[in-house]
Amino acid sequence: MSELKNPTSDIIDLRRYQAEIKSISGQKDLSHFDVSKYLPPGIKVDFIEKGGALFVPHRINEFSVKVIRRKIDLIVFQCILRYTLGFHRPAARLSNTFIATWTGLQPPNVRKALRSLKEMGLVTILVPGTASSTTLYDVPIVRGYLEWRRARENDAKVGSTVSHEGDQSDPRGRFNEISKKENLNKTGKKTPSPSEALPHKISNYIESVRPHQKRVEEEYYLNLLLQDYPADDLGEALDHILIHGSLDTGEKIHSPMKYLSYTAEEVISSIHQSKEKALRREELRKKKEQDLQMQDARKKMEAEEMAKALIEFRELSAEDQSRQTEEYRKIQFGDYNQMMPPSEVMQKLVAAHWYNGKRSHG
């Protein structure tokens, strides 16, 4: 195919140029995104076509609900959509442990759901997981949607010859094109850079990243993460992986922000769980300490009461002491004299019994 001429030229027919753009994209009508070609074999679903790019993500969710019949499969697919379509990228690295934590499902059910989704062709594996890295899952319908969206943007920008190479979700194809102009919003005001108004642990890390190309990549992923997570949580997650490394293997992470772009939920959840465990341990320690203090106070009070009872009991006449001892022996031991404790212990027991009876009767 011959190369397209500059559409800004006066001799170019605008309509012919737009038609060539559409033919290059492989789709005649770019106003609609056709989801029917992503249906699994043997499944037929009717969709009412509606225009508009903003409607398509809802259409993909509608597609998943109508096509996926098992609830567990749908929950797992929604998790994968969250980290692919949610970040405008066709693929994401997700571990079974992370999916189980995110969905609340048991790991065996997660594996079964992933196997079912792969059999239907809704999810494919680009890079299998290893001991040091998680599996890279690709979602064909999301990839098709992103390609369709780029084709629409190219069609709309007829007056521009600038095309961004590489996937929008991957900044590696745009390193040479990022400039100060891209850091301006629509009002012309400067957007705060990632190192501004952030926890010190994040800003210090960004400033220390070398070379410049890696810093740009880390800032890109940081901006994506800040759309979904509080800066304080991200700071704790960054600090955690810088100290402890990967969640799975403990190995050092070369690009922490890129790593967090697909494991932030898992890392933050792990940190929160550790904090909750520490709080529970502290609460148990305090409760145990309070119980011990109460036991000590109770023992002290009982010892004081016993000492007072003995003093008052010994002030009784020998006849009264003997009578009280005999009454207590009959109540507690009956006629089995051999079961009676030594006299000193017996005296304390009788004194306590007599003293309690005296207090109860006023």
> How do residues 194-240 score in pLDDT, each as one tens digit?
444 688 889 888 888 888 888 888 888 898 888 888 888 899 999 88
Provide the token pair at 66: 């109508």
Least confident of 87-101, 243-257, 289-303: 243-257
pLDDT at 200 (0 to 100): 85
**Higher pLDDT among residues 193 and 41, named by residue:** 41
- As a whole number, the mean pLDDT across the chain is 76
Residue 149 is predicted with a pLDDT of 81
pLDDT of residue 64: 85
For residue 79, pLDDT beyond 60: yes
Question: Please, which pLDDT band fits residue 341 given cuts at 50, 70 and 90?
Answer: low
The answer to whether residue 189 scores a pLDDT higher than 90 is no
Q: Which pLDDT score is estimated for 262? A: 82
Three-state secondary structure string covering the chain:
CCCCCCCCCCCCCHHHHHHHHHHHHCCCCCCCCCCHHHCCCCCCCCCCCCCCHHHHHHHHHHHHHHHCCCHHHHHHHHHHHHHHHHHCCCEEEECHHHHHHHHCCCHHHHHHHHHHHHHHCCCEEEECCCCCCCEEEECHHHHHHHHHHHHHHHHHCCCCCCCCCCCCCCHHHHHHHCCHHHHECCCCCECCCCCCCCCHHHHHHHHHCCCHHHHHHHHHHHHHHHCCCCHHHHHHHHHHHHHHCCCCCCCCCCCHHHHHHHHHHHHHHHHHHHHHHHHHHHHHHHHHHHHHHHHHHHHHHHHHHHHHHHHHHHCCCHHHHHHHHHHHHHHHCCCCHHHCCCHHHHHHHHHHHHHHHHHHCC
For the chain, domains (ranges, CATH) are: 14-156 (1.10.10.10), 172-276 (no CATH), 295-360 (no CATH)
- Predicted pLDDT at 74: 92
The reply to whether the predicted model has a pTM over 0.85 is no
**pLDDT band at residue 362, thresholds of 50, 70 and 90?**
low
Residues 49-69 have a mean pLDDT of: 72
**pLDDT band of 133, cuts 50, 70, 90:** confident
pLDDT tier at 181 (50, 70, 90 boundaries)? very low
What per-residue confidence (pLDDT) applies to 289?
Answer: 93
Q: What percent of the chain has pLDDT over 70?
A: 73
pLDDT tens for 147-180 read: 888 887 776 654 444 444 444 444 444 444 444 4
For residue range 256-303, list pLDDT tens digits in order.
998 888 888 888 888 888 888 999 999 999 999 999 999 999 889 888
pLDDT > 90 in the chain, percent: 17
pLDDT at 51 over 60: no
